[in-house]
């Protein structure tokens, strides 16, 4: 929860007797806080607040909430925020709304939060304006939402500029989206930098795309890191550089981007931009495979089968997998199912894929269990059956398969094959997210955003 101190500009030379006692106390408290002497600041703010000085009341609330210069106490923070808010201090109104929204120091009350966000927003408080989203019921159409965000954006609020860019980007006014993404990006907003790069990428302006991907990548945006690696890999808008490609693929791969994990594995297999290393290739193929990427699953299987590298004779591979599968080997059964599923070296056949996945799944192969769940959920080679999908996702999830954990979370979220249960959904999304699965992290963010409205 973010709070803001109410800041004023002043000159010490102006501290004369013409100031009322409360204002003088407030200014002394403000000066002490700037010097990091929070205990002294608290004392002066407290004196001014007790005399009814609104800005001091807000800052006293901040100190109670953060535990600066005093013991942390949300209840007292709430009391002082409310006193200042009632006197019309926009920052205090915003801070009070946050307390109501989160249930800090007071029973959670979203209607009261909305009321105080409105009051602060009407005074031009950018953060409060950002809180008034379409989902809250305060805005009943897209244009009103745009108008609210524009107020914050025109005040220079980077988050509002970014959101405004997203809203324009989802419509037909791409030039407006570009404008607002650029404004936020120039202020260092990482997601805006990534979205701006994407827009340039789509327009095939590779130099600008690289520029903004790089800025976002340096700030840790995983998708920007992957796309930057891709551009270095393919020499798009920049001199091809395999070492740089490896560097950025690795950063994205470490954040759970499956395509980056796969590409990094391929670089290790081929010794491109990095020394050949079968163990590293297997490591990254495995991570991508666990996220459900068929190409990674296949290449991982081939590497296991051959000890290292990839065979050039698919007929031999298919024969070996079929022999192993028919002998009851669960890995062979899974791999044969995979080849039927995606048409590797043979015609795609969902019924055959289902048959071999089931055999491997019954024997405990987690990826086969996950793939079987997907086929039941989507009705591929079998009648759609959410209960069966749930059953196999759960088996794979308990074995630690991140993709299954995420899909299980989705089933609980949507009530597919099971009664809706947000807590169970969060539990499984969190397990998958802890393994680096990006879409699980995204789902957790969505739930958090919904809960905050």
pLDDT in tens, 62-99: 999 999 999 899 999 999 999 999 888 889 999 999 99
Looking at residue 249, what is its pLDDT? Answer: 96
- Supply the pLDDT for residue 311: 44
Closest CA relative to residue 300, chosen from 314, 323, 284, 312: 284
| Confidence (pLDDT) at 350 | 92
- pLDDT (0 to 100) of residue 141: 56
How far apart CA 374 and CA 51 sit, in angstroms, is 66
pLDDT in tens, 246-273: 999 999 999 989 899 999 999 999 999 9
pLDDT value at position 11? 27
Portion of the chain with pLDDT greater than 90, in percent: 42
In the 8-state DSSP scheme, what is residue 417? S
- At residue 431, the pLDDT reads 93
The tokens 């997998």 sit on which residue?
321
The answer to whether 406 touches 374, Cβ cutoff 8 Å, is no
Report the pLDDT value the prediction gives residue 6, as an integer from 0 to 100. Answer: 35
Alpha-carbon distance of 321 to 138, in angstroms, equals: 60
**pLDDT at residue 45 tops 90:** no
* Mean pLDDT of the region 36-62: 86
The confidence score (pLDDT) of residue 309 equals 44
- pLDDT for residue 51 is more than 60: yes
At 184 the pLDDT is 93
State residue 167's pLDDT score: 80
Which has the higher per-residue pLDDT, 56 or 3? 56
* The model's pTM: 0.51
Question: Of the spans 118-132, 414-428, 432-446, which averages the highest pLDDT?
Answer: 414-428
pLDDT higher at 121 or 405:
405
Q: Would you say residue 285 has pLDDT above 70?
A: yes
If you search the block for the tokens 């805006």, which residue do you land on? Answer: 192
For residue 418, pLDDT over 90 is answered with: yes
**Structure tokens belonging to residue 14:** 């102006």
How confident is the model at residue 443, as a pLDDT? 82
| Cβ neighbours of residue 383 closer than 8 Å, sequence gap 6 or more | none
Rounded CA-CA distance 117/130 in Å is 9
Q: Is the CB of residue 180 less than 8 Å from the CB of residue 170?
A: no
Tokens of 398: 């308990």
pLDDT digits (tens, 9 = 90+) for 327-381: 888 888 988 898 888 887 788 899 999 999 999 999 999 999 999 999 998 888 8
- Which residue in the block uniquely carries the two structure tokens 């006193």? 83
310-336 per-position pLDDT tens digit: 444 567 667 767 877 888 888 889 888
On the question of a common fold for 12-123 and 400-453, the answer reads yes
- pLDDT in the model for residue 24: 63
pLDDT digits over 101-152, tens only? 889 999 888 778 888 988 888 777 878 877 765 334 444 456 777 777 788 8
Residue of 242 and 112 predicted with greater confidence: 242
- 345-350, Cβ contacts within 8 angstroms, sequence gap of 24 or more: 345/314, 345/315, 345/317, 345/318, 346/318, 349/381, 350/375, 350/380, 350/381, 350/382
Other Cβ atoms closer than 10 A to 418: 15
Q: How many whole angstroms separate alpha carbon 79 and alpha carbon 84?
A: 9
Residue 167 near residue 130 (C-beta atoms within 8 A): no
How confident is residue 5, by pLDDT bands cut at 50, 70 and 90? very low
C-beta separation of 401 from 408 below 8 A:
no
Q: Hey, which CATH number is domain 400-453, 1.25.40, 1.10.286, 1.10.10, 1.10.150?
A: 1.25.40
pLDDT at 427: 95
The reported pLDDT for the residue numbered 452 is 53
In the chain, where the domains are located: 12-123, 400-453
The pLDDT, as a whole number, for residue 21 is: 58
Inform me whether the pLDDT recorded for 245 exceeds 70.
Answer: yes
The region of weakest confidence among 41-50, 65-74, 210-219 is: 41-50
Q: What is the 3-state secondary structure (H, E, C) of 350-374?
A: HHHHHHHHHHHHHCCCHHHHHHHHH
- Indicate the average pLDDT of the chain: 83
Region 12-123: CATH code: 1.25.40.10
Lowest mean pLDDT: which of 17-21, 239-243, 432-436? 17-21
Position 99 scores a pLDDT of 93
Q: How many other C-beta atoms are found inside a 10 Å radius of the C-beta of residue 276?
A: 14
Give CA angle at 120 (118, 124), nearest 5°. Answer: 105
Residue 20: predicted pLDDT: 42
212's tokens: 């903004």
pLDDT-derived band at 451 (thresholds 50, 70, 90) equals low
């Amino acid at each position: 929860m973010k709070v803001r101190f109410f800041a004023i500009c002043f000159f010490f030379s102006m501290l004369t007797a013409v100031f009322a006692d409360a204002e003088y106390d407030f200014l002394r408290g403000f000066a002490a806080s700037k010097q990091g002497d929070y205990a002294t600041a608290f004392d002066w703010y407290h004196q001014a607040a007790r005399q009814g000085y609104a800005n001091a009341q807000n800052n006293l609330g901040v100190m109670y909430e953060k535990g600066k210069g005093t013991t942390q106490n949300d209840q007292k923070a709430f009391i002082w925020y409310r006193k200042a808010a009632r006197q019309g201090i926009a920052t205090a109104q915003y801070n009070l709304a946050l307390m109501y929204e989160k249930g800090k120091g007071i029973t959670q009350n979203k209607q009261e939060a909305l009321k105080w966000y409105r009051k602060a927003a009407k005074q031009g408080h950018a953060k409060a304006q950002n809180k008034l989203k379409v989902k809250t019921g305060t805005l009943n159409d897209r244009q009103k939402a745009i108008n609210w965000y524009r107020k914050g954006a025109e005040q220079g609020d980077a988050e509002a500029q970014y959101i405004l860019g997203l809203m324009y980007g989802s419509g037909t006014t791409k030039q407006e989206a570009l404008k607002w993404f650029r404004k936020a990006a120039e202020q260092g907003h990482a997601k805006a930098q990534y979205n701006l790069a994407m827009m340039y990428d789509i327009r095939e302006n590779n130099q600008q795309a690289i520029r903004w991907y790089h800025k976002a990548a340096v700030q840790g945006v995983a998708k920007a890191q992957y796309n930057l690696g891709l551009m270095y890999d393919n020499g798009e808008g920049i001199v091809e550089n395999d070492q740089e490609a490896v560097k950025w693929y690795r950063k994205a791969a470490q954040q759970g981007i499956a395509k980056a994990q796969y590409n990094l594995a391929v670089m290790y297999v081929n010794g491109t931009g990095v020394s050949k290393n079968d163990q590293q290739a297997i490591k990254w193929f495995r991570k991508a495979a666990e996220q459900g990427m068929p190409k990674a699953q296949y290449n991982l299987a081939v590497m296991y089968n051959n000890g290292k590298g990839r065979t050039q004779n698919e007929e031999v591979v298919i024969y070996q997998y079929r022999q192993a599968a028919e002998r009851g080997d669960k890995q062979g059964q899974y791999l044969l199912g995979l080849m039927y599923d995606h048409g590797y070296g043979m015609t795609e056949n969902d019924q055959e894929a289902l048959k071999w996945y089931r055999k491997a799944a019954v024997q405990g192969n987690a990826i086969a269990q996950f793939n079987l769940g997907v086929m039941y959920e989507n009705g591929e080679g079998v009648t759609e059956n959410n209960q069966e999908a749930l059953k196999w996702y759960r088996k794979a999830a308990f074995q630690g398969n991140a993709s299954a954990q995420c899909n299980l979370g989705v089933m609980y979220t949507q009530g597919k094959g099971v009664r809706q249960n947000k807590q169970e959904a969060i539990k499984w999304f969190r397990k998958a997210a802890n393994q680096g699965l990006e879409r699980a992290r995204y789902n957790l963010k969505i739930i958090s955003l919904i809960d905050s409205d």
